[in-house]
Amino acid sequence: MILLTRKADFSAAHFYWNDAWTEAENQRVFGKCANRQGHGHNYTLEVTVEGAVDPVSGFVVDLKQLKDIMEHEVVSVYDHRHLNHEVPEFAATVPTTENIAIAIWRRLDGKIPGAKLHRVRVYEMPDLFADFYGEGA
Amino acid sequence: MNLVAHLNRRYRFAAAHRLHVDALTPARNRAIYGKCNNPFGHGHNYVAQVTLSGPVDAATGMVTNLGDLDAFAQREMLDLFDHANLNTLECFRDLVPTTENLCIELWRIFAQYPHAKLERIRVEETGNNAFDYFGDGARIQHEE
Protein backbone atom coordinates (compact mmCIF):
# COMPACT_ATOMS: atom_id res chain seq x y z
CA MET A 1 0.00 0.00 0.00
CA ILE A 2 1.30 3.42 -0.96
CA LEU A 3 0.15 6.85 0.12
CA LEU A 4 0.29 9.49 -2.55
CA THR A 5 -0.17 13.22 -1.96
CA ARG A 6 -1.04 15.90 -4.46
CA LYS A 7 -1.10 19.62 -3.65
CA ALA A 8 -3.16 22.44 -5.06
CA ASP A 9 -3.53 26.10 -4.13
CA PHE A 10 -6.53 28.36 -4.00
CA SER A 11 -7.12 31.87 -2.74
CA ALA A 12 -10.40 32.78 -1.13
CA ALA A 13 -12.13 35.20 1.20
CA HIS A 14 -14.10 34.25 4.30
CA PHE A 15 -15.27 35.41 7.70
CA TYR A 16 -16.47 33.62 10.83
CA TRP A 17 -19.99 34.29 12.01
CA ASN A 18 -22.75 32.37 13.76
CA ASP A 19 -26.19 33.83 13.02
CA ALA A 20 -27.59 32.33 16.22
CA TRP A 21 -25.34 34.60 18.30
CA THR A 22 -25.33 38.29 19.07
CA GLU A 23 -22.74 40.53 17.44
CA ALA A 24 -20.91 40.80 20.78
CA GLU A 25 -20.77 37.01 21.13
CA ASN A 26 -19.44 36.64 17.58
CA GLN A 27 -16.78 39.25 18.29
CA ARG A 28 -15.81 37.57 21.53
CA VAL A 29 -15.41 34.09 20.04
CA PHE A 30 -14.12 34.86 16.56
CA GLY A 31 -12.21 38.12 17.16
CA LYS A 32 -10.95 39.76 13.99
CA CYS A 33 -12.17 36.80 11.94
CA ALA A 34 -15.70 38.10 12.57
CA ASN A 35 -15.21 41.13 10.30
CA ARG A 36 -18.22 40.67 8.02
CA GLN A 37 -16.49 42.32 5.09
CA GLY A 38 -14.32 39.20 5.00
CA HIS A 39 -10.60 38.67 4.73
CA GLY A 40 -8.60 36.19 2.70
CA HIS A 41 -5.93 33.54 2.59
CA ASN A 42 -3.78 31.64 0.15
CA TYR A 43 -4.86 28.13 1.00
CA THR A 44 -2.88 25.02 0.20
CA LEU A 45 -4.76 21.78 -0.20
CA GLU A 46 -3.02 18.42 0.18
CA VAL A 47 -4.98 15.38 -0.88
CA THR A 48 -3.55 12.01 0.16
CA VAL A 49 -4.87 8.83 -1.41
CA GLU A 50 -3.96 5.26 -0.65
CA GLY A 51 -3.89 2.32 -2.96
CA ALA A 52 -1.89 -0.52 -4.41
CA VAL A 53 0.69 0.12 -7.09
CA ASP A 54 -0.68 -0.98 -10.43
CA PRO A 55 1.75 -3.61 -11.78
CA VAL A 56 1.45 -2.32 -15.32
CA SER A 57 1.48 1.46 -14.91
CA GLY A 58 3.45 1.62 -11.66
CA PHE A 59 0.88 4.19 -10.45
CA VAL A 60 -1.35 4.25 -7.40
CA VAL A 61 -3.49 6.70 -9.26
CA ASP A 62 -3.06 8.65 -12.47
CA LEU A 63 -1.70 12.00 -11.19
CA LYS A 64 -3.10 13.95 -14.08
CA GLN A 65 -6.51 12.49 -13.39
CA LEU A 66 -6.20 13.31 -9.66
CA LYS A 67 -5.15 16.86 -10.53
CA ASP A 68 -8.16 17.25 -12.83
CA ILE A 69 -10.55 15.92 -10.17
CA MET A 70 -9.14 18.32 -7.55
CA GLU A 71 -9.40 21.17 -10.04
CA HIS A 72 -12.95 20.33 -11.08
CA GLU A 73 -14.38 19.45 -7.66
CA VAL A 74 -12.57 21.96 -5.44
CA VAL A 75 -10.27 24.57 -6.95
CA SER A 76 -12.67 25.73 -9.66
CA VAL A 77 -15.36 26.17 -6.98
CA TYR A 78 -13.23 27.79 -4.24
CA ASP A 79 -10.50 29.76 -6.00
CA HIS A 80 -10.97 33.54 -6.01
CA ARG A 81 -14.37 33.17 -4.35
CA HIS A 82 -15.89 34.34 -1.11
CA LEU A 83 -16.51 31.08 0.73
CA ASN A 84 -19.40 32.38 2.87
CA HIS A 85 -21.29 33.94 -0.04
CA GLU A 86 -20.43 31.79 -3.03
CA VAL A 87 -19.78 28.22 -1.88
CA PRO A 88 -23.00 26.43 -0.92
CA GLU A 89 -21.65 24.28 1.92
CA PHE A 90 -20.66 27.41 3.84
CA ALA A 91 -24.02 29.17 3.57
CA ALA A 92 -24.88 27.89 7.05
CA THR A 93 -21.53 26.44 8.22
CA VAL A 94 -18.62 28.52 9.48
CA PRO A 95 -15.76 28.19 6.96
CA THR A 96 -13.06 27.37 9.47
CA THR A 97 -10.05 25.39 8.32
CA GLU A 98 -11.54 22.32 10.01
CA ASN A 99 -14.83 22.67 8.14
CA ILE A 100 -13.08 23.37 4.83
CA ALA A 101 -11.14 20.10 5.24
CA ILE A 102 -14.40 18.22 5.92
CA ALA A 103 -16.16 19.89 2.96
CA ILE A 104 -13.31 19.05 0.59
CA TRP A 105 -13.32 15.44 1.82
CA ARG A 106 -17.02 15.24 0.95
CA ARG A 107 -16.41 16.74 -2.47
CA LEU A 108 -13.66 14.21 -3.29
CA ASP A 109 -14.72 11.03 -1.50
CA GLY A 110 -15.59 8.26 -3.95
CA LYS A 111 -14.56 10.28 -6.99
CA ILE A 112 -10.97 9.08 -7.37
CA PRO A 113 -10.85 5.91 -9.47
CA GLY A 114 -8.69 3.10 -8.12
CA ALA A 115 -7.68 4.75 -4.85
CA LYS A 116 -9.16 5.48 -1.46
CA LEU A 117 -9.08 8.92 0.07
CA HIS A 118 -6.77 8.83 3.11
CA ARG A 119 -6.44 12.40 4.28
CA VAL A 120 -7.43 15.92 3.35
CA ARG A 121 -5.10 18.56 4.74
CA VAL A 122 -5.87 22.26 4.36
CA TYR A 123 -3.32 24.95 5.17
CA GLU A 124 -4.83 28.32 5.92
CA MET A 125 -1.28 29.54 6.42
CA PRO A 126 2.02 27.70 6.88
CA ASP A 127 1.63 27.63 10.67
CA LEU A 128 -2.02 26.60 10.78
CA PHE A 129 -3.54 23.58 9.10
CA ALA A 130 -6.30 21.04 9.65
CA ASP A 131 -6.50 17.34 8.78
CA PHE A 132 -9.58 15.23 8.15
CA TYR A 133 -9.39 11.43 7.87
CA GLY A 134 -13.03 10.72 7.07
CA GLU A 135 -16.38 10.45 8.75
CA GLY A 136 -15.53 7.31 10.70
CA ALA A 137 -12.03 8.36 11.79
CA MET B 1 -23.01 14.45 14.49
CA ASN B 2 -19.76 16.21 15.24
CA LEU B 3 -16.97 14.97 13.02
CA VAL B 4 -13.46 14.71 14.36
CA ALA B 5 -10.72 16.79 12.73
CA HIS B 6 -7.07 17.34 13.55
CA LEU B 7 -5.77 20.86 14.04
CA ASN B 8 -2.07 21.61 13.58
CA ARG B 9 -0.42 24.75 14.89
CA ARG B 10 3.27 25.65 14.61
CA TYR B 11 5.12 27.81 17.12
CA ARG B 12 8.67 29.11 16.97
CA PHE B 13 11.21 29.74 19.67
CA ALA B 14 14.94 30.32 19.80
CA ALA B 15 16.95 28.62 22.51
CA ALA B 16 20.45 27.51 23.44
CA HIS B 17 21.47 24.07 24.64
CA ARG B 18 24.42 21.81 25.21
CA LEU B 19 24.28 18.04 24.94
CA HIS B 20 26.21 16.68 27.88
CA VAL B 21 25.67 13.95 30.46
CA ASP B 22 27.51 14.44 33.77
CA ALA B 23 27.71 10.72 34.43
CA LEU B 24 29.86 10.18 31.35
CA THR B 25 33.53 11.13 30.98
CA PRO B 26 34.45 14.24 28.96
CA ALA B 27 35.91 12.00 26.27
CA ARG B 28 32.74 9.90 26.11
CA ASN B 29 30.57 13.03 25.91
CA ARG B 30 32.65 14.34 23.03
CA ALA B 31 32.48 10.98 21.28
CA ILE B 32 28.68 10.77 21.57
CA TYR B 33 27.63 14.38 21.09
CA GLY B 34 30.43 15.78 18.94
CA LYS B 35 30.15 19.53 18.39
CA CYS B 36 26.87 19.58 20.32
CA ASN B 37 29.03 19.00 23.42
CA ASN B 38 30.75 22.40 23.05
CA PRO B 39 30.99 23.62 26.68
CA PHE B 40 29.61 27.05 25.83
CA GLY B 41 26.51 25.66 24.17
CA HIS B 42 24.93 26.59 20.86
CA GLY B 43 21.42 27.41 19.72
CA HIS B 44 18.59 26.71 17.30
CA ASN B 45 15.44 28.24 15.94
CA TYR B 46 13.04 25.55 17.01
CA VAL B 47 9.62 24.91 15.51
CA ALA B 48 7.12 23.12 17.74
CA GLN B 49 4.19 21.68 15.81
CA VAL B 50 1.24 20.70 17.99
CA THR B 51 -1.47 18.39 16.63
CA LEU B 52 -4.78 18.27 18.50
CA SER B 53 -7.93 16.33 17.67
CA GLY B 54 -11.52 16.70 18.68
CA PRO B 55 -15.06 17.01 17.42
CA VAL B 56 -15.65 20.09 15.29
CA ASP B 57 -18.00 22.22 17.36
CA ALA B 58 -21.24 22.79 15.44
CA ALA B 59 -21.53 26.43 16.55
CA THR B 60 -17.94 27.57 16.03
CA GLY B 61 -16.69 25.18 13.35
CA MET B 62 -13.60 24.64 15.46
CA VAL B 63 -11.75 21.80 17.20
CA THR B 64 -10.53 24.43 19.64
CA ASN B 65 -10.42 28.19 19.66
CA LEU B 66 -7.02 29.30 18.37
CA GLY B 67 -7.02 32.22 20.75
CA ASP B 68 -7.22 29.80 23.67
CA LEU B 69 -4.53 27.56 22.20
CA ASP B 70 -2.16 30.44 21.40
CA ALA B 71 -2.58 31.90 24.88
CA PHE B 72 -1.86 28.49 26.41
CA ALA B 73 1.21 28.00 24.20
CA GLN B 74 2.51 31.43 25.08
CA ARG B 75 2.02 30.96 28.81
CA GLU B 76 3.07 27.32 29.17
CA MET B 77 5.72 26.98 26.47
CA LEU B 78 7.03 30.17 24.83
CA ASP B 79 7.38 32.17 28.04
CA LEU B 80 9.56 29.34 29.37
CA PHE B 81 11.54 28.24 26.32
CA ASP B 82 11.94 31.26 24.05
CA HIS B 83 15.34 32.94 24.35
CA ALA B 84 16.29 30.58 27.14
CA ASN B 85 19.17 28.19 27.68
CA LEU B 86 17.41 24.82 27.85
CA ASN B 87 20.07 23.37 30.15
CA THR B 88 19.14 25.92 32.83
CA LEU B 89 15.45 24.93 32.92
CA GLU B 90 14.10 22.80 35.72
CA CYS B 91 12.89 20.08 33.33
CA PHE B 92 16.42 19.58 31.94
CA ARG B 93 18.27 19.81 35.22
CA ASP B 94 18.94 16.05 35.19
CA LEU B 95 18.01 15.33 31.57
CA VAL B 96 20.01 15.97 28.42
CA PRO B 97 18.10 18.48 26.25
CA THR B 98 18.08 16.55 23.00
CA THR B 99 15.21 17.30 20.68
CA GLU B 100 13.76 13.89 21.55
CA ASN B 101 13.58 14.87 25.21
CA LEU B 102 12.26 18.29 24.23
CA CYS B 103 9.40 16.59 22.34
CA ILE B 104 8.52 14.58 25.43
CA GLU B 105 8.61 17.68 27.64
CA LEU B 106 6.34 19.59 25.24
CA TRP B 107 4.01 16.58 25.19
CA ARG B 108 3.73 16.86 29.00
CA ILE B 109 2.85 20.53 28.64
CA PHE B 110 0.26 20.24 25.87
CA ALA B 111 -1.29 17.10 27.35
CA GLN B 112 -2.64 19.53 29.97
CA TYR B 113 -4.46 21.63 27.36
CA PRO B 114 -8.09 21.24 28.40
CA HIS B 115 -10.00 21.78 25.14
CA ALA B 116 -8.75 19.05 22.74
CA LYS B 117 -6.88 15.77 22.65
CA LEU B 118 -3.14 15.88 22.03
CA GLU B 119 -2.17 13.60 19.13
CA ARG B 120 1.38 14.54 18.30
CA ILE B 121 4.26 16.84 19.11
CA ARG B 122 6.74 17.48 16.33
CA VAL B 123 9.85 19.53 17.01
CA GLU B 124 12.02 20.73 14.16
CA GLU B 125 15.48 21.53 15.46
CA THR B 126 16.74 22.67 12.07
CA GLY B 127 15.26 22.52 8.60
CA ASN B 128 16.70 19.02 8.27
CA ASN B 129 15.93 17.50 11.68
CA ALA B 130 12.42 16.81 12.92
CA PHE B 131 11.29 14.62 15.80
CA ASP B 132 7.81 13.30 16.53
CA TYR B 133 6.33 12.07 19.77
CA PHE B 134 2.88 10.50 19.95
CA GLY B 135 2.70 9.91 23.68
CA ASP B 136 3.50 6.98 25.85
CA GLY B 137 3.27 3.67 24.05
CA ALA B 138 1.85 5.22 20.92
CA ARG B 139 2.92 4.60 17.39
CA ILE B 140 2.28 6.16 14.06
CA GLN B 141 -1.18 5.40 12.80
CA HIS B 142 -2.16 7.97 10.25
CA GLU B 143 1.04 9.47 9.10
CA GLU B 144 3.01 9.62 5.94
Is the predicted pLDDT of residue B143 greater than 70, yes or no?
no
Computed on alpha carbons and rounded to an integer, the radius of gyration of chain B in Å comes to 17
H helices within B61-115, ranges in order? 66-73, 79-81, 99-110
Residues of A in contact with B52 (CB under 8 A): none
- Known catalytic residue at A80: yes
CB contact under 8 A, A94 and B61: yes
Of residues B142 and A40, more confidently modeled: A40
Kindly report the nearest CA distance between residue B71 and chain A, in angstroms: 14
Could you tell me which residue, B2 or A132, shows the higher pLDDT? A132
**Using one digit for the tens of pLDDT, what is the confidence trace for B66-105?**
999 999 999 999 999 999 999 999 999 999 999 999 999 9
Q: What is the count of residue pairs from A and B with beta carbons less than 8 Å apart?
A: 66
The neighbouring-strand residues paired with B126 are B129
CA distances from B96 to A19, A84, A125, B44 (A): 52, 50, 33, 16
Q: Any CB–CB contact under 8 A between A119 and chain B?
A: yes
Measured distance between the N- and C-terminal CA atoms of chain B, rounded to whole angstroms? 28
Q: Quick check: B34 pLDDT over 90?
A: yes
CA A44 – CA A7 distance, rounded (Å)? 7
Spatial neighbors of A10 by CB under 8 A, at least 6 apart, are: A42, A43, A45, A74, A75, A78, A79, A80
CA nearest B49 in A: which residue?
A127
pLDDT in tens, B54-75: 999 999 999 999 999 999 999 9
**Which tens digits make up the pLDDT trace of B103-122?**
999 999 999 999 999 999 99
User: Maximum CA pair distance of chain A?
Assistant: 61
CA distance B117 to A111: 31
Alpha helix positions (H), B24-119:
26-33, 66-73, 79-81, 99-110
Q: Over range B39-49, report the average pLDDT.
A: 95
Instruction: Determine the Cα–Cα distance for residues A29 and A124; give it in Å rounded to an integer.
Output: 19
B124-135: per-residue pLDDT in tens? 999 999 999 999
Residues in chain A where the model's pLDDT stays below 70: none
A86 is catalytic: no
Q: Which of A126, A131, A124, A122 lies closest to A40 in space, CA to CA? A: A124
Using the predicted structure, report yes or no on whether residue B144 has a pLDDT greater than 50.
Answer: no
pLDDT for residue B65 = 97
What's the CA gap between B144 and B122, in Å, rounded? 14
Contact B60 A21 (CB under 8 A): no
Cα first-last separation, chain A: 19
Write down the catalytic residue from B6, B36, B76, B91.
B36
- Residue B83 a catalytic site member: yes
Q: Does B5 touch chain A (CB under 8 A)?
A: yes
The string over A69-107, giving b where at least 16 C-beta atoms fall within 10 Å of a residue's C-beta and e elsewhere, is bbeebbbebbeebebbeebebbeebbbbbbbbbbbbbbb
How far apart are the C-alpha atoms of B30 and A136, rounded to whole Å? Answer: 50
Query: What's the pTM value of the predicted model, to 2 decimals?
Result: 0.90
**Residue A52: its pLDDT value, please?**
92
Q: Do A131 and B11 touch (CB under 8 A)?
A: no
Closest CA to B76 of B89, B93, B57: B89
pLDDT of B138 higher than 70: no
Query: Which residues face B4 on adjacent strands?
Result: B55
A-proximal residues of B, 61-90, CB under 8 Å = 61-63, 65-67
